[in-house]
């Protein structure tokens, strides 16, 4: 007799019921074991982290540290006649006003040439005082040696040892989206760094690079400071912002470093060519027998008595002091002030001359590297 379909079905169901509990228990045990192992790994710190859990941060401190010594603060102060008042028919009262400008600059060479924007130092073209402060706190007077209104650039020169010029990058390699940093001295708060990207690259005729647009914060005081790439290299000179409020609104501009440094080299060359050397001393009377006896107790000292020296100037750096007597310049005896000027005017800034002085009964010969006497305007 054949088994019916119903009896076969019942046997299959009974078999499945018999096997279901062992299978279910086995699966449950496997899940418990897996969960236990993962918990153990988590507690021991061995569980692999996902990319989202990675807390590793990126720092640009080393990059900034390489570039920041080359970025300086420029404090320019000028004194001008603000108003005139007639106190009486034969007396006029002049009221002076002081204008101050604070900005930034970049050391381009170890021999003291600093690049900045013209609008940072344009207060200096009357009676003026310019002071440069380095990030390490050192301060020194600065001389504006040339400027170019067309490019809004100016060159300063300082006499100081141990300068760190900035490394120059290739601004032609910049692309929109590249990370950049603006280093400067905004709003008189000290050296500051802001980060952004290259927002746009503005080109002129012949596809030449004209301006770099960035969203790195540029505020008053940042003008003339450095725009550097992610290698710490100079790619631009921060120059202006586009803003309705006068405050930074995310659109800043920098002059490409290639243009700015080329302009500096041309300005320095013209300043040297158009300038005579400058010693930086004020002398009094020429010494004769009576004045020599009066000042030094002997009547044989001849030359020009130094009354003052320019702070940070060529004479001061050479070691010439007020009270010294300049007796010879380049081996020529000094008989009056014109004698000194004639020797100096035959030289160029950067030339070194021998200045012989009398001090405390001794004659000293001091090598003196001449400075710049006046600024050169680059015509557009």
Concatenated DSSP letters for 142-172? -EEEEEETTTTEEEEE---SS--PPPB--GG
Q: Is 97 part of any domain?
A: no
- Higher-pLDDT residue of 333 and 50 is 333
pLDDT band at 302; cut points 50, 70, 90: very high
Q: Is 298 part of any domain?
A: yes
Q: Is 336 part of any domain?
A: yes
Q: Are residues 291 and 247 in the same domain?
A: no
- Tell the burial category of 195 from Cβ atoms under 10 Å away from its Cβ (0-12, 13-18, 19+): middle
Residues 6+ apart with CB under 8 A from 27: none
Tell me what pLDDT residue 50 has.
42
Strand partners, 128: 78
Q: How far, CA to CA in Å, does 321 sit from each of 51, 99, 132, 192, 314?
A: 67, 31, 23, 38, 11
Strand ranges (E), 204-351: 209-214, 226-228, 234-241, 252-256, 277-278, 281-287, 303-309, 325-329, 332-333
Tell me what pLDDT residue 19 has.
56
CATH number for the domain that contains residue 331: 2.30.42.10
Residue 3 has pLDDT above 80, yes or no: no
Catalogue the active-site residues. 119, 152, 223
Residues 6+ apart with CB under 8 A from 11: none
Q: Is 160 part of any domain?
A: no
Which tokens in the block code for residue 141? 């007077």
Distance CA 49, CA 64 (A): 31
Average confidence (pLDDT) over 48-61: 58
User: Using one digit for the tens of pLDDT, what is the confidence trace for 67-81?
Assistant: 999 999 998 776 555
Tell me what pLDDT residue 4 has.
54
Distance CA 214, CA 171 (A): 13
Distance CA 334, CA 336 (A): 6
Residue 15 has pLDDT above 90, yes or no: no
Q: Is 36 part of any domain?
A: yes
Angle at 92 between CA 89 and CA 95, to 5 degrees: 155
Q: Are residues 248 and 283 in the same domain?
A: no
Radius of gyration, CA atoms only, the chain: 37
Q: Are residues 246 and 284 in the same domain?
A: no
Residue 55 has pLDDT above 60, yes or no: no
User: Using one digit for the tens of pLDDT, what is the confidence trace for 121-179?
Assistant: 875 544 456 789 999 999 998 888 888 888 889 999 998 889 999 999 999 899 999 99
- Which of 143, 74, 132, 123 lies closest to 103, judged by CA? 74
Q: Are residues 308 and 231 in the same domain?
A: no
Residue 103 near residue 218 (C-beta atoms within 8 A):
no
Q: Is 144 part of any domain?
A: no
- Residue 83 CB neighbours (<10 A): 9
Average confidence (pLDDT) over 254-275: 87
- Higher-pLDDT residue of 312 and 119 is 119
Q: Are residues 301 and 336 in the same domain?
A: yes
- Tell the burial category of 133 from Cβ atoms under 10 Å away from its Cβ (0-12, 13-18, 19+): middle
Average confidence (pLDDT) over 216-231: 93
Q: Are residues 294 and 247 in the same domain?
A: no
Tell me what pLDDT residue 101 has.
75
Residue 47 has pLDDT above 50, yes or no: no
- Higher-pLDDT residue of 29 and 237 is 237
pLDDT band at 235; cut points 50, 70, 90: very high
Percent of the chain residues past pLDDT 90, beyond the cut: 36
pLDDT band at 214; cut points 50, 70, 90: very high
Tell me what pLDDT residue 380 has.
47
Tell me what pLDDT residue 57 has.
58
Domain of residue 34, residue span: 5-46
CATH number for the domain that contains residue 239: 2.40.10.10
Helices (H) and strands (E) counted in the chain, each on its own, are 7, 22
Tell me what pLDDT residue 226 has.
96
Give whichever of 179-183, 268-272, 375-379 has the largest mean pLDDT. 179-183
* Sign for the pseudo-dihedral over CA of 336, 313, 109, 259: negative
Using CA atoms of 265, 268, 269, 274 in order, give the dihedral in degrees to the nearest 10.
Answer: 160
Tell me what pLDDT residue 24 has.
61
- Tell the burial category of 305 from Cβ atoms under 10 Å away from its Cβ (0-12, 13-18, 19+): buried
Q: Is 166 part of any domain?
A: no
Q: Are residues 368 and 290 in the same domain?
A: yes
Average confidence (pLDDT) over 277-292: 87
Domain count, the chain: 3
Q: Say which range, 39-53, 304-318, 356-370, has the weakest mean pLDDT.
A: 39-53
Residue 10 has pLDDT above 80, yes or no: no
Q: Is 303 part of any domain?
A: yes
What percentage of the chain's residues is helix, strand, coil (to nearest 5)?
30, 40, 35
- Which of 73, 60, 94, 353 lies closest to 222, judged by CA? 73
Q: Say which range, 18-22, 52-56, 78-82, 186-190, has the weakest mean pLDDT.
A: 52-56
> In the listed set 197, 218, 252, which residue is the last one of a domain according to the structure?
252
- Tell the burial category of 198 from Cβ atoms under 10 Å away from its Cβ (0-12, 13-18, 19+): buried
């Amino acid at each position: 007799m054949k088994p019916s379909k119903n009896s076969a079905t019942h046997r299959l169901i009974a078999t499945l019921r018999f096997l279901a509990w062992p299978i279910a228990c086995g699966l449950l045990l496997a899940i418990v074991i897996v969960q236990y192992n993962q918990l153990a790994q988590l507690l021991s710190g061995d569980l692999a982290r996902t990319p989202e859990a990675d807390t590793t941060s990126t720092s640009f401190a080393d990059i900034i540290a390489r570039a920041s010594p080359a970025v300086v603060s420029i404090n320019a102060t000028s004194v001008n006649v603000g108003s005139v008042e007639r106190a009486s028919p034969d007396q006029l009262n002049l009221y002076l006003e002081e204008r101050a400008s604070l900005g930034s600059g970049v050391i381009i060479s170890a021999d003291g040439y600093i690049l900045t924007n013209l609008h940072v130092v344009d207060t200096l073209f009357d009676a003026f005082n310019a002071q440069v402060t380095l990030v390490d706190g050192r301060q020194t007077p600065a001389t504006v040696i040339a400027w170019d209104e067309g490019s809004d650039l100016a060159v300063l020169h300082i006499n100081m040892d141990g300068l760190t010029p900035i490394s120059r990058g290739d601004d032609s390699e910049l692309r929109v989206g590249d990370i950049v940093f603006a280093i400067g001295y905004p709003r008189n708060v000290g050296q500051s760094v802001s980060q952004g990207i290259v927002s746009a690259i503005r080109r002129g005729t012949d596809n030449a690079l004209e301006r770099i647009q960035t969203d790195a914060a540029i505020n008053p005081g940042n003008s003339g400071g450095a725009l550097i790439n992610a290698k710490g290299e100079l790619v631009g000179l921060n120059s202006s912002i586009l803003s309705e409020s006068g405050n930074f609104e995310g659109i800043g501009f920098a002059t490409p470093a290639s243009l700015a440094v080329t302009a500096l080299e041309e300005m320095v060359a013209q300043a040297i060519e158009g300038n005579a050397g400058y010693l930086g001393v004020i002398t009094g009377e020429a010494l004769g027998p009576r004045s020599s006896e009066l000042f030094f107790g002997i009547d044989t000292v001849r030359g020009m008595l130094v009354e003052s020296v320019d702070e940070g100037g060529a004479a001061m750096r050479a070691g010439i002091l007020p009270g010294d007597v300049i007796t010879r310049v380049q081996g020529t005896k000094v008989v009056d002030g014109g004698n000194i000027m004639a020797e100096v005017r035959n030289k160029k800034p950067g030339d070194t001359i021998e200045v012989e002085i009398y001090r405390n009964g001794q004659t000293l010969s001091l090598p003196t590297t001449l400075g710049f006497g006046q600024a050169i305007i680059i015509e557009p």
